[in-house]
Structure 1
Amino acid sequence: MRSHARERVLSRLLEQVRYEVLPTPSVVDEVYGHLPAGATVTVTASPAKGMEETLDIAERLSALGFDVVPHLAARMIHGNAHLAEITERLRLAHVTKVFIPAGDADPEPGCYRSALQVLEDLAVAGNPFDQVGITGYPESHPSINDDLTVQAMWDKRHHATHIVSNLTFDPDVLARWIDRVRARGVALPILIGLPGPVERLKLLRMATKIGVGESAKFLAKNGGLFARIAAPGGYDPLRFLGRAAETLGLPASNVAGLHLFTFNQVAETEAWRVAQLERIQDSGVRRRTARAAARSDA
């Protein structure tokens, strides 16, 4: 892929982003202070804090004018009546988008056990949300068989509007996964899950904030995540996207944008995004200037 074509793909992706945050007391101020007005912000659901924290932060961010996407983790929802309460609460807060994972919590008696169960009950309730996201797994899930993740995506496709990919640090794995999703006949738009550049110490502090038990599950799911995204020279988000750009830019891939895992390093994530866009735009200007100079010399 030529450099200018790659830059067009990267620029489009960096302009179509949403930011994932964790439900901590300071995160509303972080978002309000550092993200553009009206930015799309997804709020995770923490078993250590419960759904209430996610809903509270979603309401506060929506009141500030942000486009909010709360995570409705199935295993934290106590059946259909609880789901109806959540739905009404979000309606009153003018929240029209949700993301529905199964979640990492061990479901209590009466809770949903899968995202599909929540999706089916929302369909019976008349599909109250305009957009509904589901999870995709480019890498194998440590506790779910690959065949089950594939089947789950197929089963959920009629109830969802888009897929958010889980983390992978291998652009070839990501490209092959997109090809497999499309080969199976799943045509939903995909948002690429991508960690921005994060600082190791801040990442470790965040691990303590989300709870020891949840942190252990998080690390079990993501193996060497901390080391790989925080090690100097070990991970460069833009380089990762550039290596996958040929697939990401294909119309048939239907990649709609980026889902940025901020780990609540909101200011750093947004500064990185803006800097990359400026760098790409400057590169385009230099290339056009050089071509114009070459034509003039000719």
Structure 2
Amino acid sequence: MNPLGTASPVVSTSLLEDFSLEMTGKDVPKLDEAAGLIPQGTRFNVTFLGNENLRMRLDAARAVKRLGFTPVPHISARRLTSRADFEQFLAGLQADGTGADVFAVGGDPTRPEGPYADSLALIESGLLPEYGVRHVGITGYPEGHPDIPGDVLWSALREKSASLAAQGLDGSVITQFGFDVDPVLAWLEQVRGHGITLPVRIGVPGPAGVRRLMSYAARFGVGTSASIAKKYGLSITNLMGTAGPDKFLHALAEGYDPARHGTVKIHFYTFGGLKATSEWIAQFRKEALA
């Protein structure tokens, strides 16, 4: 793992004061182990994967709430087989008091398994506020998407932002992770230039093995040139090593300007494990406040 160094005051007082984390339905035991390291109220995005069923998704959201955190269940549009399937999930969340905050995403399947082709279709269904949803997270892609043209991504982001506002729903954007701060900051300026004022959570990978990070980067079309890898602290000649996001966070803090970039927070992808990521964050925050 990379040395932590000394975090700048900007990192500790702004970007990291309200971070969020990601977990799967299988991570509940790890969440119990890591709970003491994480500030109460922290937002946990709970994935909607193909190998998870309704019970696992609802149980994970309940566990997040039980431990004093804020559950943010994912809803994968293309994985929903019907409107009834969608409503069953929303009703379960509402009954448990875990559905006020959700994250709407298109999902991995190339072809929809039901009537919802993308996250905009979920938002425009009108079902979210009907079942007590008050805040909806949507996706952002600072480095683009390997399968979606840039103009389509911008149009979708504008439409989703407008639809949320029209329904009186709060929203935020969570970005795909990356290793290079420069395209992130440029993209943030473009977001504001498009008139989108939603808060943005920049996706950051928690500490993980280099081989795993490179694998995820290839899967999601994230840049990993030699210069980018060096800037981030990745050793592409030592795939057995590990890397944390400390250099990325420092660079982001140095380049971040609220006047140009708006409200920005951090979202951690737990590729190296929930506990390892939580320990890393706790240590980084401790050094930042020292």
Q: What's the TM-score once normalised by structure 2's chain length?
A: 0.80
- Check if 1:220 corresponds to 2:228: no
Q: How far is the alpha carbon of 1:268 from its aligned partner?
A: 1.3
5+ long unaligned stretches in structure 2: 1-6, 165-169
Q: Which residue of 2 aligns with 1:46?
A: 49
Counterpart contact for 1:191–1:256, Cα < 8 Å: yes
Provide closer, same or farther for how the CA distance between residues 236 and 62 of structure 1 changes in structure 2, counting only shifts above 3 A: closer
Counterpart contact for 1:170–1:240, Cα < 8 Å: yes
Q: Which residue of 2 aligns with 1:261?
A: 269
Number of residue equivalences: 263
% same residue: 28
User: Secondary structure at 2:16's aligned position in 1?
Assistant: helix
Q: Which residue of 2 aligns with 1:14?
A: 16
C-alpha separation in 2, matches of 1:218 and 1:17: 22
C-alpha separation in 2, matches of 1:120 and 1:94: 22
Counterpart contact for 2:208–2:244, Cα < 8 Å: no
Counterpart contact for 2:15–2:253, Cα < 8 Å: no
Q: CA RMSD in A?
A: 2.9
C-alpha separation in 2, matches of 1:49 and 1:101: 16
User: Secondary structure at 2:147's aligned position in 1?
Assistant: coil
Q: Which residue of 2 aligns with 1:287?
A: none
Alignment-mate amino acid for residue 31 of structure 1: L
Q: How far is the alpha carbon of 1:263 from its aligned partner?
A: 2.4
Aligned residue runs from structure 1 range 12-161, under 5 A? 12-24=14-26, 27-35=27-35, 36=38, 37-50=40-53, 52-95=55-98, 96-122=100-126, 126=130, 128-158=132-162, 159=164, 161=171
Query: Which protein has the bigger helix share?
Result: 1
Q: How far is the alpha carbon of 1:261 from its aligned partner?
A: 0.4
User: Secondary structure at 2:48's aligned position in 1?
Assistant: coil
Alignment-mate amino acid for residue 9 of structure 2: R
- Check if 1:239 corresponds to 2:247: yes
C-alpha separation in 2, matches of 1:74 and 1:267: 29
C-alpha separation in 2, matches of 1:62 and 1:264: 23
Provide closer, same or farther for how the CA distance between residues 124 and 244 of structure 1 changes in structure 2, counting only shifts above 3 A: closer
**Which has more radius of gyration?**
1
Q: Which residue of 1 aligns with 2:278?
A: 270
Alignment-mate amino acid for residue 135 of structure 1: T
C-alpha separation in 1, matches of 2:90 and 2:194: 32
- Check if 1:179 corresponds to 2:189: yes
Q: How far is the alpha carbon of 1:200 from its aligned partner?
A: 5.0
Alignment-mate amino acid for residue 268 of structure 1: A
Counterpart contact for 2:77–2:112, Cα < 8 Å: no
C-alpha separation in 2, matches of 1:49 and 1:218: 23
Alignment-mate amino acid for residue 206 of structure 2: G
- Check if 1:281 corresponds to 2:289: yes
Q: How far is the alpha carbon of 1:49 from its aligned partner?
A: 3.0
Q: How far is the alpha carbon of 1:235 from its aligned partner?
A: 5.1
C-alpha separation in 2, matches of 1:246 and 1:81: 48
C-alpha separation in 1, matches of 2:142 and 2:28: 31
C-alpha separation in 2, matches of 1:270 and 1:13: 16
Please list the CA deviations of residues 74-103 of structure 1 after superposition, one character each: whole Å capped at 9, or x if unmatched: 011123222222111101111111001101
Alignment-mate amino acid for residue 271 of structure 1: E
Provide closer, same or farther for how the CA distance between residues 260 and 86 of structure 1 changes in structure 2, counting only shifts above 3 A: same
Provide closer, same or farther for how the CA distance between residues 33 and 75 of structure 1 changes in structure 2, counting only shifts above 3 A: same
Counterpart contact for 1:58–1:69, Cα < 8 Å: yes
C-alpha separation in 1, matches of 2:272 and 2:69: 16
Please list the CA deviations of residues 236-257 of structure 1 after superposition, one character each: whole Å capped at 9, or x if unmatched: 4121122222443424422341
C-alpha separation in 1, matches of 2:217 and 2:24: 13
Alignment-mate amino acid for residue 131 of structure 1: H
C-alpha separation in 2, matches of 1:217 and 1:273: 21
Q: What's the TM-score once normalised by structure 1's chain length?
A: 0.78
